[in-house]
Structure 1
């Protein structure tokens, strides 16, 4: 299968890396000139990757086209493009519905939304898709797994969950900064926090235990973990997070 990517940013780079460094023969990948520096770097690194002269060239050379431009740039980037009905379009633009993409492109080709995350570069990230499509789901299965959902309402719930990622990293950065403020070297604090939560990541691979059980297994009654959880992330904190996600979901709809 020949894969085209229109808009080569961080997610486009991650997808190309995952596809070209996985098991088996790498697919042919055609990149748009948008994000020229990243596109040129990928074409130099991988034999099966080529940078095209324009977005229409990407589409014409591809069986499956991934639209990965910034949402606010989509009308400029996609205007006037011709997408034959026998192509497959994958929409990875946050907050942009499939009907919007279909209208903008004026195509009858199948359009599938997806939420690939940067970890697809290591083929370790489950990608939510909507609607389910055998070719698209098979593609993301090679990058860590596909999770097809029934409709865009369900898809929006997962989109809202994805929006918490940078908050998690900011939380870790706050922990490291706090330790440095108490006399630890910044390098030692950073190394320890990374190691601490890499261990958490590994424990998440144990699907025999629920998330609630994992939390309980990491604290003892009246212990240090319980103290932080119940004084900082108490019921009010949990309710605030739920309210933030509810507001985001309402906007996504």
Structure 2
């Protein structure tokens, strides 16, 4: 089992801590976000320490602080050359990470989501997937992404999650307006999509389009929906927003 430390103990770190602790790893978390740290100590017997002590106790370090404060928090710390470092900080390049974590050189970037602890969370890994596969697979599929620009574009796709939730919320509210039953409107709107996606087998690059076309056949309300979204500019808006996020994260093409 490994000695693993977390700098930053919030919404993204906590599911990873729970997943790794359940597999017998020795976990030390930072004091940052004391409420979450104490909850993890109570539920999974993790240790809590100051940032530098987290590094001193650990061989694998997860950096889970917000990007805009990363330099202030990480730069004062002393890393070892044998530390393995995993960053989940959007917009912090490999070059910047190398500078912050020197003399450590074993650096990996990934994008975890909160449901990781339950399995099924895809983890893009750049530039090397070996460490993440050891820690999180097979429950969570690890996708090796060798080039940093391509990895950053995965952050843009990840940002679709709150966007899709926003659309589902609009749909659920619309259904509530017509049924007067907000709880069941939310339940139905959520489950009709999550259940469908969960039932899909692993497929090829064209699978989502094939599934769409199987539903949106001539004369159906499904086709009316897909055409209405296209005619309203939803797809072009999505691509434009993804490109803007990509530019922000490192230059989308």
TM-score, reference length from structure 2: 0.92
Find 2:221's aligned residue among 219, 224, 236.
224
Counterpart among 40, 51, 57 of residue 55 in structure 1: 51
Match of 2:92 among 96, 105, 120: 96
C-alpha offsets along residues 9-66 of structure 1, whole Å, 9 cap, x if unaligned?
Answer: 1110110122234xxx42111100001100110111113x1111x1111111111000
In 1, Cα distance between the equivalents of 2:193 and 2:21?
Answer: 29
- Tell me, in whole angstroms, the C-alpha distance in 1 between the residues paired with 2:153 and 2:200: 21
1:14 maps to what in 2?
A: 15
Q: CA deviation at 1:243?
A: 1.6
SS of aligned partner of 2:12: helix
C-alpha RMSD over aligned residues:
1.7
Q: Which string of whole-angstrom CA distances, capped at 9 and with x for unpartnered residues, describes residues 64-119 of structure 1?
A: 00000011111221132111111101010011112112212332331111111112
Match 2:29 to one of 26, 31, 35 = 31
Partner of 1:129: 125
> Post-superposition shift, 1:143?
4.6
Alignment of 1:99-118 (within 5 A): 99-118=95-114
Task: Determine which of 230, 244, 250 is the counterpart of 1:233.
Answer: 230
The answer to whether the Cα contact below 8 Å between 1:114 and 1:129 also exists between their aligned partners in 2 is: yes
Contact 2:129 2:142 in 1 (8 A): no
Q: Offset of 1:4 from its aligned partner?
A: 0.6
Question: Which of 196, 208, 211 is residue 211 of structure 1 equivalent to?
Answer: 208
Deviations 1:109-165 (A, max 9, x none): 311111111121112201001011422332232551211111101101111111111
Structure 1 stretches of at least 4 aligned residues deviating more than 6 Å after TM superposition: none
Q: 2:171 maps to which residue?
A: 175
Which range moved further: 138-147 or 67-76? 138-147
Contact kept in structure 2, 1:71 and 1:93, CA below 8 Å? yes
- Unmatched runs of 5 consecutive residues or more in structure 1: none
SS in 2 for 1:232: helix
The gaps in structure 2 that reach 5 residues or longer are none
* Distance (whole Å) between structure 2 residues aligned to residue 180 and residue 15 of structure 1: 36
Cα distance in 2 between the residues matched to 1:11 and 1:40: 16
Native 8 Å contact 2:21 2:27 kept in 1: no
Contact 1:137–1:148 (CA under 8 A) maintained in structure 2: no
Q: 1:189 to 1:133 in 2, by over 3 A?
A: closer
Would you say the 8 A contact 1:83–1:109 is kept in 2?
no
Match in the other structure for 1:140: 136
Q: Tell me how far apart the structure 2 counterparts of residues 19 and 106 of structure 1 sit (CA, whole Å).
A: 25
